[in-house]
Structure 1
Amino acid sequence: MGIEYRRLSKEYLETFIQMRITQLREEGAKEEIDLAPALRDYYDRHMADGTFVSWLAFDGEKIIGTSGMSFVEKPPYFGCPSGKLGLLSSMYTDPEYRRRGIAKELLDRVVKEARNYGCGTVQITASDMGVKLYAAYGFIHNGNFMQYKL
């Protein structure tokens, strides 16, 4: 049996949240807070209004890959006349299943969702591991990205 792809639905949300936390830890997060309630609240609200979509990869009934795309809107600008942006997150593949094209398939699916939503661009803060995938897909570095923590 091959890998199957399904959209995230409520029945998979708790597993999705745990995988997101695993991903953040794997990427070096050290904070000792319970992030699950905030993630649950975010996904409940944004799945309901259509501003968050996710595709999952399954081997049987086991989720082995995740993706996520949040849709936000900024004032239109020349690089993105619609003002609609896709923020890519939650790109994670179980270590046993890496290097098989699963992440690329998941990326394809959420980028298509962003295009259908009317987004003019997709952004991600890539992990070291993800940079190759995104560069091969056609993402380019934006050296002007800065962040101010509140």
Structure 2
Amino acid sequence: MGIVYKKLTETDLNTFIKMRINQLREEGAKEDIDLPPALKDYYSRHMADGTFVSWLAFDGDKIIGTSGMSFVEKPPYFGCPSGRIGLLSSMYTNPEYRRQGIAKELLDRVVNEAKAYGCGTVQITASDMGVKLYTSYGFKHNENFMQYKL
């Protein structure tokens, strides 16, 4: 039957959230809060207003790959005159399905969503595993990123 790609809807949201939690665990996140309710609230609100999109890869009725793109707006700047930025997240492929081009196909689809939304740039904090995919796709390292925790 092959891999089928579909946009995330409320129907698959609970499974999507479970996969997001598994991804964060795989990346070594420290679990000190109950994250699923906060994720459900975020995804529901932002899917409704069009500022979050996700494409999923299915093998039959099983989700085997995820992607996500949040759209934010900052004051326009020279590197991004629209001020619209895509924040890439939730890039995950089931380990049994890796190295088959699924992540690249999902990335293509959410990058196209960002273009359609009018984003001038897409950003990601890449895991070590993802760096190769993003570099080959054309992402460049930006050493300017700093964070202040509140």
> For this structure pair, what is the TM-score category when the shorter chain's length is used for normalisation?
over 0.9
Q: Which residue of 1 aligns with 2:31?
A: 31
Cα shift readout 1:80-133 (whole Å, capped 9, x = no counterpart): 000000000000000000000000000000000000000000000000000000
Q: Which residue of 1 aligns with 2:147?
A: 147
Instruction: Determine the C-alpha separation between the residues in 2 that align with 1:33 and 1:71.
Output: 25
Q: Which runs of 5+ in 1 are unaligned?
A: none
Instruction: Determine the C-alpha separation between the residues in 2 that align with 1:50 and 1:101.
Output: 27
TM-score by length of 2: 0.99
Cα shift readout 1:28-63 (whole Å, capped 9, x = no counterpart): 102232100000000010000000000000000000
Q: Which residue of 2 aligns with 1:111?
A: 111
Aligned residue pairs, count: 150
Q: Which residue of 1 aligns with 2:126?
A: 126
Instruction: Determine the C-alpha separation between the residues in 1 that align with 2:149 and 2:37.
Output: 21
Q: Which residue of 1 aligns with 2:64?
A: 64
SS in 2 for 1:67: strand
SS in 2 for 1:129: helix
SS in 1 for 2:23: helix
**Matched residue type, 2:6:** R
**Matched residue type, 1:44:** S
Instruction: Determine the C-alpha separation between the residues in 2 that align with 1:110 and 1:147.
Output: 25
Instruction: Determine the C-alpha separation between the residues in 2 that align with 1:4 and 1:23.
Output: 21
TM-score by length of 1: 0.99
Instruction: Determine the C-alpha separation between the residues in 1 that align with 2:71 and 2:41.
Output: 16
Instruction: Determine the C-alpha separation between the residues in 2 that align with 1:26 and 1:32.
Output: 16
Instruction: Determine the C-alpha separation between the residues in 2 that align with 1:3 and 1:62.
Output: 10
SS in 2 for 1:146: coil
Superposed CA RMSD in Å reads: 0.5
**Matched residue type, 1:98:** R
**Matched residue type, 1:3:** I
Instruction: Determine the C-alpha separation between the residues in 2 that align with 1:73 and 1:32.
Output: 30
Cα shift readout 1:64-87 (whole Å, capped 9, x = no counterpart): 000000000000000000000000
Instruction: Determine the C-alpha separation between the residues in 1 that align with 2:147 and 2:126.
Output: 15
1:94 aligns with 2:94: yes
Q: Which residue of 1 aligns with 2:80?
A: 80
Q: Which residue of 2 aligns with 1:5?
A: 5
% identical aligned pairs: 83
**Matched residue type, 2:128:** D
